[in-house]
Amino acid sequence: MNIRIPSALTVLAAFAILFTFHISVAFSQQEGRTIPVNAREAMQQLLADEDTDGDLKITIDDSHVPGTERGNKRFWLHSMARERFEVAGVYHLCNLLQELTLLSQAGRDTSLLRFDRVFEPAVDRISRSIREHYWDALTRRIDEDGLPGVLQDEKTSTVSNARYIYVPPSDLVAVNYFREVRSRHPAWRLLVVQLPDRVVPQYVRGLEGYHGILSLGLRESPAGTMEGIPFVVPGGRFNEMYGWDSYFILLGLLADGRIDLAKSLVDNFVYELTHYGAILNANRTYYLTRSQPPFLTSMIRECYRHLPKDSTSHKWLRTALAAAIQEYKMVWMQPQRRTAIGLNRYFDSGSGPPPEVEPGHFDDTFRRYAAKHRMTPAAFERAYRSGRIKDPELDRYFVHDRAMRESGHDTSYRLINQCADLATVDLNALLYRIERDIAEVIEQEFGGSLTLSDGKTERSTTWSERAEERKKLINQYLWDPGRGMFFDYSLPAMRRTGYVSATTLYPLWARLATPEQAAHLVSTALPLLEAPGGILSSTESSRGPISEVHPLRQWDYPHGWAPHQMLVWQGLARYGMGELAQRLAYRWLFTITLNATLYNGTITEKYDVARRSHEVFAEYGNVGTKFSYITREGFGWTNASFQVGRSLLTPDLLEQLNNLIPPEWIFLP
């Protein structure tokens, strides 16, 4: 397969490559050489010369100052040995700033700067940074050593200025452990609260102003002390363990050989199911009323594939599979998430505005309803939140909003104000995959039947029958043979919605599509959803025109997200379309690489894949852009998508990305 660099970046590319070559050739001829530098002074001089917009980064947005050499994308680096070296181009200057930052933070007057790191090929540098730095920077533990970092999160602040950790009453070891931690650290203002035996929505709503972190698993360390089972957070403001993020993060960890850390994610999910009754949206108290898209069986199977096949691993598999069966029955097959047509929906048992959203998110919503009640928006919001005013229509709006947040796709016009009324393609494809996974694991690893700790026996044939019944219902209600796509089904309207979203491709990942359906999806949906930078979240026509009353939403056109990319790549590969998966992976990695090289290593939560840009201004902005000097963590599932996507590309395609030098890297006077 031959994939060319998109034409928008080929103008003057040859000239730019030659322009850069004469500057870097001296370095390449001295491969492995280091030079002694005063890192702090060099960094300050580099920023003074090239950071013309003062954001403590070197990016393509640092413009040349007319009449001076500032911002001309050329810098003379002076060594302590009285040598000087010219470094040019945005990417190389970014790398230089990052390397000097690391050296200066080591605190030595003289440091040895490695040439190969300054001129490291882009794909190699991004991948190495993820593997060697970002995963560790995103790893957390809920224990004595890990709590200080967790408690600094602004989301742990309360009206009493205390910090709360909530512990399930069924884990007495954790209750006692955290009480001892509290007694040893009074300055933390930590309060340890046992949750009630049964957590009801009214209890969660009553925690307003007193929300806190939820404990996760503890284990004995090699030193004989208690330690938290580690988990990986997405990054930025998302400083807790998230439900569906963790599946994609796990894929990246396994690609990098971090098997133990990947296994720990599963272990913490088993803990949540055992003690909270669900895999939570994330481990904070305001998420106790909802889950997130279910991927546990896929996580289990991916991990088990990398574990030694011995009695210890087999025991782990049994425990994890039992937890997955519990999740299926006690979360997804309960009446709240079942529909009249036999398929499932997302739901949240809480009520009212979800407390985790940023201030002002619902201003437009409250403004609309305030007018109906002839009140100012602020007065109406206070009255509604306190319960002094009832509005059934607004109540229903928040039912849908909360269900949408359980879907992970918050927010999208596919789901706004109707999510709880939809049997969605994504959820039912995931549940089909769970049913097939459980059937296959019981058959392959337990001889067709598995007896659980409560004495009940699960049989592979039963789970296969469940999967086949769901597949039949999906084809009946969600498959549109005329358009050749899967669509969500509206229960009140009793018809498919017709909203074209990346979720129409989930049945490929779940392996529930027939070969004929797969061919239809590739010929009908893919041309609508493929963009220069990867797979779009939705089509522009489904989203509708943007206006003051119809603002941009982050899970709609023109945005692309790492989970959609990875699910589509896997789905296409499972239907023998590996070259097509490579093409899409290349587009996505091109987008990440382009933005990282032009913007000081930036790796973000999401991208505008129509423009191949990280500049996304919908709703919450874009996590991963707010850093100085050097990014420390990237973003969890985007990191994972880079490592997974890299493993799909041929050496020729990787070389194309490594040699990608757009003309904007060099300032041409």
Please, where are the H alpha helices in 229-376? 243-255, 259-275, 296-306, 311-327, 363-372
Q: Which 8-state DSSP code applies to residue 59?
A: B
CB 336 within 8 A of CB 393: no
Query: Nearest 5 degrees, angle CA 575-CA 576-CA 578?
Result: 115
> What tokens appear for 17 in the block?
């490559």
Phi, psi of 89 (to 5 degrees): 95, 140
How wide is the angle at C-alpha 292 spanned by C-alphas 289 and 294, nearest 5°? 130
Q: What are phi and psi of 164, to 5 degrees?
A: -105, 135
| Catalytic residue of the set 99, 256, 348, 410 | 410
**Does 605 qualify as catalytic in the annotation?**
yes
Task: Based on DSSP, count helices (H) and strands (E) in the chain, helices before strands.
Answer: 25, 22
- Catalytic annotation present for 132: no
User: Cα-flanking dihedrals φ and ψ of residue 319, to 5°?
Assistant: -65, -45
Residue among 237, 122, 197 nearest 660 (CA) = 122
CA-wise closest residue to 639 among 273, 249, 123: 249
| Contact in structure between 52 and 70 (CB atoms under 8 Å) | yes
From the candidates 406, 605, 633, 664, give the one annotated as an active-site residue: 605
Cα dist. 226→151, 166, 409 in Å?
19, 18, 37
Distance, in Å, from the CA atom of 182 to the CA atom of 188, rounded to the nearest integer, reads 8
Residues 165 and 193: beta-carbon distance below 8 Å:
yes
Residues annotated as part of the active site: 410, 605
